[in-house]
Amino acid sequence: MALPEWTVYLLCIASVCGGFYICRVVKCARKSAWKNSQIAKLMARSEKPLFWIAYSLYTRTKLGYIFHKRQMKKARERYPTGHSRAQPTIINGIKIIPVPILLDNYSYVVIDTASNTAVVVDPADPQPVQACLEAEGVALQAVLCTHKHWDHSGGNRALKRRYSSCRVYGNAMDNIPGLTHPLLDKDTIDFGTQLHFRAFYTPGHTVGHMIYLLDGRAIGGPSSLFSGDLVFLSGCGRMFEGNASTMLSSLDTVGSLNDDTLLWPGHEYAEDNLLFAADVEPGNVVREQKLQWVLQQRSQRLCTCPSTLLEEKQYNPFLRSHSQDLHQALGLQQKQDEDWTSYRARVLEELRRRKDIYKDR
């Protein structure tokens, strides 16, 4: 399992405030070797009581936001100019600017240059987002938030205060900070003259996760998918608040989109994800080619997005649950009484299980 740092931080608080058992386990771990401690191994193995206590504290209490502010401060000190170097992508009057934030997140500023209209996707840290908006000379019209986790929503309220007319969009099921305009599956939102978005309800990572598709037809170019923590380059998000069947349905939504759609994920996980993909499907030639490109990019701290959905369908194992080659690599076979969808969900569950324990992510 990935052992996010917030679980460590919040479990320390839980150990002070809560049950004797948690306190006892936490005390037996040496702080300098936390990731190798018994509690880390227990959480990695079970993801049950201890993990969910930390997760609930992170998502449902002010402790989560306090930790998020601590993380923002640490990231600004470690990466004064951002964790990666990113260049704007301009498509017929639409400018998409990846904004590196925290330790590996991306926010995205999307500008309609014809109307000087800007929206931002997942502004976890308002400071670099505001700096980008000011450098571009545009005012913020809206925030499109994929889900409630602070590393995607932590800047919503600050930007709303800074730009009084700014609206905050997202799914009401996810308790998104500063939400003003709740969205349902396939709702459309228009800004300026050329920014036409469609929201898709994609639960699994959280109960209310949404993704946003910028329609390319209005500008005569490819569409752009802002996928939050549903899909990354060669990866997918963890199933915090859903099961494999739920996540499979959400991933199939992505798989149904046009192959030329540009993918703009919420994290810089490309290198790790492609190495994991090599572990589960070593014979995939397209994946190996992409890995070599990513390694070259990351050696210079360059951003690896966007990819395209055509690429992802060729090497992203989480979008390949239908692939016989992947089934063989995983050593899985469809049972006699098992329908195709249930089998694919089982393949996805096995993939996610392996990823959760792969190099502690």
pLDDT, tens digit, 9 for 90 and up, residues 82-117: 999 999 999 999 999 999 999 999 999 999 999 999
Q: pLDDT at residue 232 above 80? A: yes
Q: Which residue has the tokens 């999307």?
A: 110
Active site residue 229: yes
Distance of CA 113 to the CA centre of its chain: 27
Catalytic option among 68, 147, 209, 327: 147
Residue of 112, 125, 229, 272 with catalytic role: 229
Q: What was the pLDDT predicted at 49?
A: 76
Instruction: Indicate if 339 belongs to the active site.
Output: no
Helical spans, DSSP H, in 83-195: 126-136, 150-153, 156-162
Of the residues 68, 112, 122, 152, which is catalytic?
Answer: 152
pLDDT cut 90: percent of the chain above it? 81
Q: What is the pLDDT of residues 111-147, one digit of tens each?
A: 999 999 999 999 999 999 999 999 999 999 999 999 9
Which is the catalytic residue, given 209, 267, 272, 327? 267
- Is residue 18 domain-resident? no
Can you give the pLDDT at residue 48? 67
Check if 149 is active-site: yes
Mark whether 181 is an active-site residue. Answer: no
Q: Is 152 a catalytic residue?
A: yes
Q: Examine residue 52 and state whether it is found in any structural domain, yes or no.
A: no
Domain limits at 145? 89-357
Where would I find the beta strands (DSSP E) of the chain?
89-91, 94-101, 105-112, 117-121, 139-144, 167-170, 181-182, 188-191, 195-201, 210-214, 224-228, 231-232, 235-236, 262-265, 307-308
Q: How far apart are CA 319 and CA 116, in angstroms?
A: 36
pLDDT score of 42: 35
**pTM of the predicted model as reported, rounded to 2 decimal places:** 0.88
- Residue 220 belongs to some domain of the structure: yes
Set 83, 149, 196, 327: catalytic member: 149
Residue 34 lies in a domain: no
Number of domains in the chain: 1
Domain containing 258 — which CATH number? 3.60.15.10
Options 68, 83, 205, 327, the catalytic residue: 205
59 assigned to some structural domain: no
Q: What is the pLDDT of residues 37-73, one digit of tens each?
A: 333 333 343 456 788 889 999 998 999 999 999 999 9
Q: Looking at 151, 196, 272, 327, which residue is catalytic?
A: 151
pLDDT at 14 over 90: no
What is the rounded average pLDDT of the residues 10-32? 41
Whether residue 186 is contained in a domain is answered as: yes
356: annotated active-site residue = no
Is 322 a residue of the active site? no
Q: Which tokens belong to 294?
A: 């990513």
On whether residue 209 sits in a domain, the answer given is yes
